[in-house]
Amino acid sequence: MSVPDHCGEISRLINSPVMFREPMHLHTSWRIGGPAEIFVEPRGIEDLRAVLTYAAQSGLPLTVIGAGTNLLVRDGGISGIVLKIGGGFSGIRVDGETITAGGGAKLHRLAAAARDAGLGGFEFIAGIPGSVGGAVVMNAGAYGSSVGDRVVEVTCLGYQGDLLCLDGRRLDWGYRKSALQGKESVVVEAVFRGYPRDKDLISSDMEKILGSRRAKQPLEYPSAGSVFKNPPGNYAGKLIQDAGCQGMRVGDAQVSTKHANFIINLGKATASDVLKLIAAVREKVMEKFGVSLEMEVKVLGRD
C-alpha cells in the first residue's frame, strides 16, 4: 500500500487531520527538518488509540513527538507515522495540592496554573519550553529541580492500546532520564503535587527565573535549548566555551556566543549543518579536556 493510501485509511478511522509529507520544521523549535510521510495530531485518546493500533497492524514505523523543543529532525524527514501529542491532550485541572495535566499541555501553562492556585514547587519550570509528556519522559529540569520531583502518577497509552497508570515513585528518575524512556507507550496525562505557597512569592521567583533565562540564553533565535548533557561535576557550556567553540559556524548553524551549549539557527540552517557543527564541537572538547559530550537533543529521521 502506498503512503497516500495509508493516509486515506487512517483518515477514515479517526476524526483528526491526517497530513501527507508534513514539513517537520513547522513542528520543531529549531525550525529544521524534512517531511513526515504521515503526520497526525490526535484530538483525543480514541483517535490516538486507533492510530497506534493501525501502526501496529500495518507495520508502519511510528514516531511520537511533543512540542518538538528537544528534537533535531534530519533533512530527509521521517518515515511512517509521526504522532504529535498536542492540543488534544492539553487540559490542566487543579484539585487541592495536585495538578493533573495532559501530555500535550505546555509547561509554561502548568507553571502558571500552579502559581494561580498558590502551589509552590513549579517555579523552576518557568521559561522551559516544551510539553508535559516530553518533560516527564526526559525528566526535564533546571536550577537544581526536576519534573520527576513533582510527579505522583503518570497515565500512558501503550502501543497495543492498553492504558497504564504508573506510580511516580517507581519511575527511576535520574539526570535527564526516567524509566519511561524507550518504552512503547505515550504519556497522555500526569499528576503532580505541589505545596501551599504565597502567590506573590511564586510570581517573584518565576520572574527572576525568566529574567535570568532572557539574560543568559539566545532566545531571539530558534534553538533546541541545551544540546549536550552536563558531564558529572562539570558544565557542558563551560567546556565548549573554554575549548574555543563559541561562534563556530557551519552554514546557518552557529554555536551561540551568549550560551555555548546552545546551537542556534541563524535563518536557513539544515540538520546536516547542525550535525556537522555538533561533531566539530565534540571533537574540540575531547581534544582539549578528554571529555566525550553526550547529546541531550534527540535526533530523528533519515539523511
Strands 62-65 and 92-95: unpaired
**176 an active-site residue?**
yes
* Sign of CA pseudo-dihedral 199, 201, 203, 205: negative
Q: Exactly one of 176, 193, 213, 249 is catalytic; which is it?
A: 176
Q: Are the C-beta atoms of 99 and 296 separated by less than 8 Å?
A: no
Distance set, CA 57 to CA 4, 45, 53, 170, 188 (Å):
17, 18, 6, 31, 22
CA–CA dist 273, 66 (Å, integer): 23
User: Of 113, 111, 115, 58, which Cα lies nearest the Cα of 81?
Assistant: 58
CA–CA dist 128, 193 (Å, integer): 19
Cα angle value 264/268/271 (rounded, 5°): 70
DSSP state of 12: H
**203 an active-site residue?**
no
Cα angle value 6/7/10 (rounded, 5°): 85
Q: What are the residues whose beta carbons fall under 8 Å from the beta carbon of 269, sequence distance 6 or more?
A: 30, 32, 251, 252, 253
Q: How far apart are the first and last CA of the chain?
A: 24
Q: Exactly one of 178, 223, 226, 256 is catalytic; which is it?
A: 226
**226 an active-site residue?**
yes
Strands 71-73 and 298-300: parallel
CA–CA dist 49, 210 (Å, integer): 37
Residues recognised as catalytic: 176, 226, 296
